[in-house]
Amino acid sequence: MSGAFDDLLAANRRFAENFALSGFDGVAHAGVAIVTCMDSRIDPLRLVGLEPGDAKIFRNPGGRVTDAALEALVLGVHLLNVERVLVVPHTRCAMATNTEEELRARVAESTGTDVSWHRFHVIDDQVAALGEDVRRVRTHPLVPDRVAVGGFLYDVDTGLLTQHL
């Protein structure tokens, strides 16, 4: 284990030399929360012109509004200045382009063990799932009507965000 993180710790020391966020509060200064995929092609802040301090970011495979995402959004809306919520799945997402069986087969190949017991929550219809997810936020009893909730698709090849809802 020792050594595995050396490059990152060295980079962190350089980062801390010019650290400008000291004493900064934890609210979302632009009033924005973004739920998006863990995909490394997505830079959720910069793709909407924001910077650290501006937004709450919640990520998971597929960018789904899970119970944990709702928990984060309720806290964001009531305690952290969130007024706008963007739900942002993306094109060429592994969660939407593989079936459950395909993902299991790929992970099984990597682990060399049976993974049939594990569920990956693949997405059959990305636009339908987005509608469901936006509705989950909008109709949540602890998310007031003053909060704007939008559903978008991010194109990882063009960098463009398209609003669907």
Binding site for Zn ion (CB under 5 A): 37, 39, 93
Secondary structure (DSSP) of 56-94: EEEEETT----HHHHHHHHHHHHHS---EEEEE-BTT-H
Judged by CB, which is closer to Zn ion: 145, or 157? 157
> Is the CB of 50 or the CB of 93 nearer to Zn ion?
93
State which residue, 39 or 133, has the beta carbon closest to Zn ion. 39
Angle at Cα 155 formed by Cα 151 and Cα 159, nearest 5°? 110
Q: Phi and psi dihedrals of 139, rounded to 5?
A: -95, 0
Element (H, E) at 39: none
Tokens of 116: 């049939």
Residue 103: CB minimum distance to Zn ion, A = 12
C-beta of 83 vs 98, nearer to Zn ion? 98
| Closest distance to Zn ion from the beta carbon of 45 (Å) | 17
Taking every pair of Cα atoms in the chain, the longest distance, rounded to a whole number of angstroms, is: 50
Q: Which is nearer to Zn ion, 37 or 147 (CB)?
A: 37
Q: Are 93 and 62 in contact (CB under 8 A)?
A: yes
Place of tokens 């060295």: 10
